[in-house]
């Protein structure tokens, strides 16, 4: 599994380098023009990798949608930090859903161990932390724009 991850990471790095190079060389270009230009220079394996990554992303999105639907329907919010879960029968749809661990491995929700659910919690915590940092960045931008009395950051001299 480690070797597969290393190969995938190398493919991703090579692909990301091509994308970044195209952006750096054509900073004002339309995104679709850049995409066409990059596509013209991709090898078949890179295109397969790109499609596979999109499939993984969409599968994860499907799981999130199932989780959200189930949580909305069957979880009752108690206090700020308390969540009450419905019965196992009510959650069969969620139990069949897959989720990814940090190493890319997919696990069936209903068959996941305590350790696997814990890995997912850690992964989601990192996502939350990243979103919080991004949120703080935008709040700081708002503060700076308002203090400077301008409409955007580029107007600040």
Q: Are the C-beta atoms of 46 and 8 separated by less than 8 Å? A: no
Q: Are the C-beta atoms of 70 and 46 separated by less than 8 Å? A: no
| Residue bearing the bigger pLDDT, 21 or 57 | 21
Structure tokens at 79: 């206090």
| CA gap 23, 76 in Å, rounded | 47
Stated length of the chain: 157
Residue-level pLDDT at 151 = 94
Residue-level pLDDT at 74 = 58
Residue pLDDT, tens place only, 39-93:
888 888 888 888 888 888 888 787 777 777 766 665 555 555 555 555 666 667 6
Residue-level pLDDT at 90 = 60
Structure tokens at 26: 């054509």
Structure tokens at 119: 């890995």
- The Cβ of residue 109 has, within 10 Å, a number of other Cβ atoms equal to 20
> The pTM is what?
0.50
Q: Are the C-beta atoms of 9 and 47 separated by less than 8 Å? A: no
């Amino acid at each position: 599994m480690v070797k597969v991850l290393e190969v995938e990471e190398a493919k991703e790095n090579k692909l990301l380098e091509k994308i970044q190079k195209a952006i750096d060389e054509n900073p004002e270009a339309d995104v679709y023009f850049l995409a066409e230009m990059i596509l013209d220079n991709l090898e078949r394996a890179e295109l397969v990798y790109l499609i596979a990554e999109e499939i993984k992303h969409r599968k994860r999105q499907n799981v999130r949608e199932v989780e959200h639907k189930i949580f909305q329907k069957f979880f009752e919010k108690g206090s700020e930090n308390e969540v009450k879960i419905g019965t196992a029968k009510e959650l069969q749809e969620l139990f069949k859903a897959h989720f990814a661990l940090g190493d890319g491995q997919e696990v069936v929700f209903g068959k996941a161990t305590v350790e696997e659910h814990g890995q997912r919690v850690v992964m989601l915590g990192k996502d939350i932390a990243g979103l919080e940092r991004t949120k703080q960045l935008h709040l700081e931008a708002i503060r700076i724009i308002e203090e400077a009395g301008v409409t955007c950051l580029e107007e600040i001299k």
